Amino acid sequence: MKFNYQARTQDGQVQGGVVEASSREVAIGLLQKQDLYVTVLEEISKPPIYAKRITIFETISRKDVVLFSRQLSIMFKSKVPLVEALQVLGEQNQNPDLKDKILTISEEVEGGTVLSTALAQHPKLFSSFYIAMVKAGEASGKLSESLNYLADHLEREYHLMSKIKGAMVYPILILLFAIMVVIVMVFFVIPNLTKVLEETGQEMPFITSIVISFTEFVKKWFWLGLIISLAFIFYIIRYYRSKGGKRFFDGLFLKTPSLGSFLKMLYLSRFAENLSTLISGGLPIAQSLDITADIIGNSVYREVIFNAREGVKKGDSVSSVLRLAPEIFPPMFCQMVLVGEKTGTLDRSLMDMVDFYQKETERMVETMLSVLEPAMIMFLGVVVGGLMFAILTPLYKMMSF
């Protein structure tokens, strides 16, 4: 928000201008820091609707947050004052939405708010994990190190997720292409060829009759199938968002062959890295487990991690509680945690596991992709080839006579 202000200096001179701040209190605080006694402060009226910036298409990506975190870490490590670093990062940012939020955070910090509290005002942008790391750095006086840990963690997680998403692009494109080919054949190619076959009056092969009947059924009831499909997808999404639905699907995915093994490696890597980063930042193990459970992304793992937190509060070791769930925490993982607890290097032991599981995850992605790509091409060939074979076989027979 922008405010018109009128104030007096210590010499009694009248001074006026415009100040930008997130609230009236912050604006007054900024002016008082300049040794000004505010006499008038009025918010500038909002511009008409046609002059407002369209923000519907403006989004803040994970990459934007990663870049902001790394730049803030570097500037703070270089002894640049926090407020000045935030102002510079805000002014140079190309994303208008993120720019506004960074400048708002800068104003709040300049007004006396601690960084973690200012960041917590934007929960959709900064997770509980992010806030906890910053808060731990503030409490221990090692904010620079906490920001560096945080930037390293976000970069590793971003690169892993980018690699997984990138690996899925090609199979998805093949699947979409197959769907488009089938639609074109069902609604345009096969009906025209069917007319030619019907004009010949010859008896249709069994497979050709099935394809023609299927095509006519799809054309006639396409709208009903679309409505039922959309309703089913809507129901599944809604059920998945419920507590019971998420628990059911999370457990189902973990039991699915191949996919379950991949997801377990992904969750183990995420759990180990988040817990290691939080412990390295100075947070107690119980609190670190509490935060990690909320951001793990799987309700089955979440329940086990919460049990581990309760066990730690009672005096149990983390490894002893994790051993109770061998189906999701393998013995090797629990043994590494036990070694870390005994030697007092739990954060390093966890990071060793992160390196191992990330490499295994990348290897599995490459293996799955090497199998999935030819499988999708074969699927496309079978579908299109099967349809063409069913229609062209009677035409070929007709031309042979």
Give the three-class secondary structure for 203. Answer: coil
pLDDT tens profile 181-207? 878 877 887 777 777 777 766 677 777
* CA separation for the pair 50, 147 (Å, rounded): 40
Partners of 2 in the β-ladder: 20
In angstroms, how far is CA 28 from the centroid of its own chain?
38
Asked if the model's pLDDT at residue 46 lies above 60, the reply is: no
Residue 282, sorted as left (phi over 0), alpha (psi -120 to 50) or beta, turns out to be left
Percent of the chain with pLDDT over 90: 5
Q: Enter the tokens of residue 372.
A: 């999935």
How far is 3 from 28, CA to CA, in rounded Å? 10
Please name the residue that has the structure tokens 């983390």: 318
Q: Is residue 400 pLDDT above 70, yes or no?
A: no
Q: Name which residue leads in pLDDT, 55 or 96.
A: 96
One-letter amino acid identity for 247?
R
Which tokens in the block code for residue 66?
A: 């990663």
Count of beta carbons in the 10 Å neighbourhood of residue 21: 23
Q: What is the average pLDDT across 16-30?
A: 75
Quick one: pLDDT band at residue 234, thresholds 50, 70, 90? very high
Report the pLDDT averaged over residues 320-344. Answer: 90
Mean pLDDT, residues 15-43: 76
Q: Could you give the percent of the chain with pLDDT greater than 70?
A: 94
Cα gap 227→230, rounded to integer Å: 5
Mean pLDDT (the chain, rounded): 81
Topology of the domain covering 62-155: Receptor-associated Protein (1.20.81)
pLDDT of residue 59 exceeding 80: no
**Cβ neighbours of residue 386 under 8 Å, at least 6 residues apart?**
none
Question: What pLDDT, in 10s, does the model give residues 142-160?
Answer: 788 888 878 887 887 788 7
Structure tokens at 3: 């405010």
Sign of CA dihedral 68, 295, 361, 164: negative
pLDDT-derived band of residue 335, with 50, 70 and 90 as boundaries?
very high
pLDDT at 96: 83
- For every residue of 325-357, DSSP letters joined together read -TTTS-HHHHHHHHHHHHHT-HHHHHHHHHHHH
Model confidence pLDDT, tens digit, residues 209-219:
887 888 888 87
* Fold match between domain 2-51 and domain 167-401: no
Would you list the domain boundaries of the chain? 2-51, 62-155, 167-401
pLDDT at 52: 47
Q: Are 343 and 317 in contact (CB under 8 A)?
A: no
pLDDT value for 231: 93
The three-state secondary structure class of 17 is strand
Tens digit of pLDDT for each residue in 172-188?
A: 888 888 788 878 877 88
Average pLDDT score over residue span 81-96: 85
Q: What is the per-residue pLDDT for 398?
A: 66
Burial class (CB in 10 A: 0-12, 13-18, 19+), 16: exposed
250-279 confidence digits (pLDDT tens):
899 888 888 888 889 888 988 888 888 888
Average pLDDT estimate for 349-372: 83
Residue 50: what pLDDT? 41
Collapsing DSSP to helix, strand or coil, 327 comes out as coil
The whole-angstrom separation of Cα 83 and Cα 62 is: 23
This prediction has a pTM of 0.67
- Residue 192: how many other CB atoms lie within 10 Å: 9
Give the pLDDT confidence of 280-327 residue by residue, as tens digits: 877 888 888 888 888 888 889 989 999 889 988 888 888 988 998 888
pLDDT in tens, 91-140: 888 888 888 888 888 888 887 888 888 888 888 888 888 888 888 788 77
> Would you say domain 167-401 falls under CATH 1.20.81.30?
yes
Position 54 confidence tier, pLDDT thresholds 50, 70, 90: very low
Residue range 74-92: average pLDDT?
86
Residue 25 tokens read as 């209190």
pLDDT class of 232 with cuts at 50, 70, 90: very high
CATH architecture of the domain with residue range 2-51: Roll (3.10)
- Average pLDDT estimate for 27-36: 78
